[in-house]
Structure 1
Amino acid sequence: MDSQKIKNLQSYLVRLQEGEDLVSVRREFEKDFASVSTEEIMEAEQALLQAGNLSENMGRLCDLHSGLLHGKMETIGEQFPEGHPLQLFLKENEAIESHLDKLSAVMNGPFSAADILSVLEGLLPVKAHYDKKDEVLLPILGRKGMPGPSRVMWNVDGEIRKSLQDLINKLKKEDPHTEKSNDDVLHQALSGLLNRMREMIFKETEILVPMVQKLVDQNEWPLIAGDFPRFGWSYITDVPIWNAQALPKSRLNQGLKDNGKTIFLPSGELTVTQLEGILRTLPFELTFVDAADTNQYFSESTPLFPRPLTALGHSVYDCHPPKVIPMVKGVIEKLRSGEKDSLGFETIKKGKKARVRYLAVRDREGAYLGTLEVVEELS
Structure 2
Amino acid sequence: MTNKMKDHLPKIDMEKMQRLLEIENQYESGQISLEEAHKLMREKVGTVRPYHLAYVEQTLKPESEDECIRVDMRKVIDLMDGFMDNSRPELPADHPIAHYYKENDEMRKLLLSVEDLVQYPLIKNQWLELYDKLREYPIHYQRKQNQLYPLLEKKGFDRPTTTMWNFDDLIRDEIKAAYQLLLDDKDDEFIAAQQEIIAHTRDLMEKEETILYPTSLALITPAEFEDMKHGDQEIGFAFIDVAKPTTTTTAPTASTDGFAADLQALLSKYGYAAGPQQELDVTTGKLTLEQINLIYQHLPVDISFVDENELVKFYSDTDHRVFPRSKNVIGRKVENCHPRKSVHIVKEIVEKFRSGEQSKAEFWINKPGMFIYIIYFAVRDAQGRFRGVLEMMQDCTHIRALEGSQTLLTWAGKDEEKPAETAEQAPEKEEETPKTVIKDIEITPETRLADVFEAYPHVKDELASRYLPFKMLKTPLGKIMLKKATIHDAGERSGLGEKTVIIMIKEAIAKKK
Using structure 2 for the length normalisation, give the TM-score: 0.63
Retained in 2: the 8 A contact 1:92–1:235?
A: yes
Aligned to 1:292: 309
**How far did residue 271 of structure 1 move?**
2.0
Equivalent AA in structure 2 for residue 82 of structure 1: A
Change (3 A) 1:241 1:376: closer
Counterparts of 1:29 and 1:232 in 2: how far apart (Å)?
43
Deviation (angstroms), 1:168: 1.6
Cα deviation digits, residues 269-290 of structure 1 (max 9, x gap): 2222222221111101111111
* Distance verdict in 2 for CA 1:323–1:300, change over 3 Å: same
Question: Is structure 2 residue 339 aligned with structure 1 residue 353?
Answer: no
Q: Which residue of 2 aligns with 1:226?
A: 230
Q: Is the 8 A contact 1:360 1:372 kept in 2?
A: yes
Deviation at 1:355, TM superposition (A): 0.5
Moved more, 298-307 or 284-293: 298-307
Equivalent residue number for residue 203 of structure 1: 207
Any conservation in 2 of the 1:360–1:371 contact (CA below 8 Å)? yes
- SS of residue in 2 equivalent to 1:122: helix
The letter for the 2-side match of 1:99 is L
Q: Counterparts of 2:89 and 2:73 in 1: how far apart (Å)?
A: 24
Aligned twin of 2:69: 60
In structure 1, the partner of 2:448 is none
Q: Find the residue that maps to 2:363 and give its secondary structure.
A: strand
1:262 offset after TM fit, Å?
1.7
Match of residue 353, structure 2, among 325, 335, 338: 335
Question: What are the equivalent positions in structure 2 for 1:226-375 lying under 5 Å apart?
Answer: 226-237=230-241, 239-242=242-245, 244-245=246-247, 247-249=248-250, 258-301=275-318, 303-348=321-366, 352-375=370-393
Greater relative CO, 1 or 2 (CA 8 Å, sep 6+) = 1
- 2:312 and 2:283 mapped to 1: Cα distance? 26
Q: 1:272 to 1:149 in 2, by over 3 A?
A: closer
CA distance in 2, matches of 1:116, 1:77: 32
1:147-166 mapped onto 2 (5 Å cutoff): 147-166=158-177
Would the aligned equivalents of 2:137 and 2:238 in 1 still touch at CA under 8 Å?
yes
Q: Of 155, 178, 181, which aligns to 1:170?
A: 181
Deviation, 1:36, is 4.1
Taking structure 1 as reference, are residues 25 and 292 closer, same or farther at Cα in structure 2, changes over 3 Å only? farther
* Residue 57 (structure 2) aligns with: 45
Residues 66 and 163 of structure 2 are in contact (CA less than 8 Å); yes or no, is this contact kept in structure 1? no
- Conserved in 2, the CA contact under 8 Å of 1:12 and 1:25? no
TM score, norm. by length of structure 1: 0.84
Q: How much does 1:65 deviate? A: 3.5
Q: In the alignment, which residue of structure 1 is the partner of 2:483? A: none
The percent of aligned pairs where both chains have the same amino acid is: 25
How far apart, CA to CA, are the structure 2 residues paired with 1:56 and 1:303? Answer: 30
Return the offset for 1:82. Answer: 2.4
Hey, what's the Cα distance between the residues in 2 that align with 1:362 and 1:156?
Answer: 37
Confirm whether residue 143 of structure 1 aligns to residue 147 of structure 2.
no
| 2:51 counterpart SS class | helix
Partner Cα distance (1:189, 1:222) in 2: 39
8 Å Cα contact 2:27-2:33 kept in structure 1: yes
Deviation at 1:300, TM superposition (A): 1.3
Q: 1:127 to 1:250 in 2, by over 3 A?
A: farther
Q: Compared with structure 1, are the counterparts of its residues 186 and 267 closer, same or farther at alpha carbon in structure 2 (3 Å cutoff)?
A: closer
Unaligned residue ranges in structure 1 (runs of 5+): none
Q: 1:125-162 CA distances to partner (integer Å, 9 max, x unpaired)?
A: 11110000111112221221222244221111011111
Maintained 8 Å contact 1:293/1:316: yes
Aligned residues: CA RMSD: 2.9
Report the AA paired with residue 317 of structure 2: E
1:9 is matched with 20
Does the alignment pair 1:99 with 2:110? Answer: yes
State how far apart, in whole Å, the 2-side matches of 1:15 and 1:112 are: 47
Paired residues of 1:264 and 1:270 also in contact (CA < 8 A): yes
Determine if contact 2:146/2:328 at 8 Å carries over to the other structure. no
Q: How far 1:347 sits from its partner (Å)?
A: 1.4
Mapped to 2, the partners of 1:119 and 1:98 lie a distance apart of 11
SS at match of 1:313: coil
Q: Deviations over 1:96-149 (max 9, x none)?
A: 112111111112333345544543342111111000011111222122122224
Unmatched 5+ stretches in structure 2 = 1-11, 253-272, 398-513
Match 2:135 to one of 118, 124, 134: 124
Greater C-alpha radius of gyration: 2
